[in-house]
Amino acid sequence: MKLDAIRRRAGRPGKGNSGQVGQNLKGKASVEIVAENAGESYKQVQRFIRLTELYPRLLQMVDDKKVPFNPAVELSYLTLAEQETLLGVMEELSAVPSLEQAKRLKKYSQEGKLGVDVMDAILTEERPVPVQVTLKNDRLKKYFPKNYTPKQMEDVIFSLLETWKTEHE
């Protein structure tokens, strides 16, 4: 795409302008130029490029938002055969690896120890469900003076929670 076009400059590169990745006359790597033009960091562009190493059906799952982006980047380091096997395990278990699980799959792959049994064990682990509570600002405001800052509100809420906790222990 754009990256390939930038890399394919006509003529012989000048001295100090011949990196493996390809350089333009301003001394920037092609990936940096693409990143600037796309409004992304060059690391993010590198992650997008890395996704080209994904097994096609896994890549489609990323496009369909069935596999999150960052775990997919980690999975791209698995061999194509491992990715194909993983896809089968994922479908069998109806599971998608978290970022942490994908990193562990990558590690086992690099050590040459990634097999169906390891994939199965990693994907069937219990994942802690994060507890998140969101308090609506408009509901909270009716309990506090108008001049209270969010920090002051938070302090009062936690003070009341501490009192409630000690009463119910």
pLDDT in tens, 94-143: 999 999 999 999 999 999 999 999 999 999 998 767 778 888 888 888 89
Q: Are 156 and 139 in contact (CB under 8 A)?
A: no
pLDDT value at position 25?
A: 46
pLDDT value at position 27?
A: 66
E strands in the chain: none
pLDDT value at position 158?
A: 93
The identity of residue 64, as a single letter, is D
Determine the Cα–Cα distance for residues 34 and 59; give it in Å rounded to an integer: 21
pLDDT value at position 157?
A: 93
pLDDT value at position 22?
A: 53
Backbone phi and psi for residue 98, each to the nearest 5 degrees, phi listed first: -75, 175
Assigned token pair, 93: 């278990």
Determine the Cα–Cα distance for residues 148 and 141; give it in Å rounded to an integer: 9
Determine the Cα–Cα distance for residues 71 and 122; give it in Å rounded to an integer: 14
Residue numbers of the chain with a pLDDT score lower than 70:
1-27, 128
What global pTM score does this model have?
Answer: 0.61
Q: What is the CA radius of gyration of the chain?
A: 25
Determine the Cα–Cα distance for residues 106 and 91; give it in Å rounded to an integer: 19
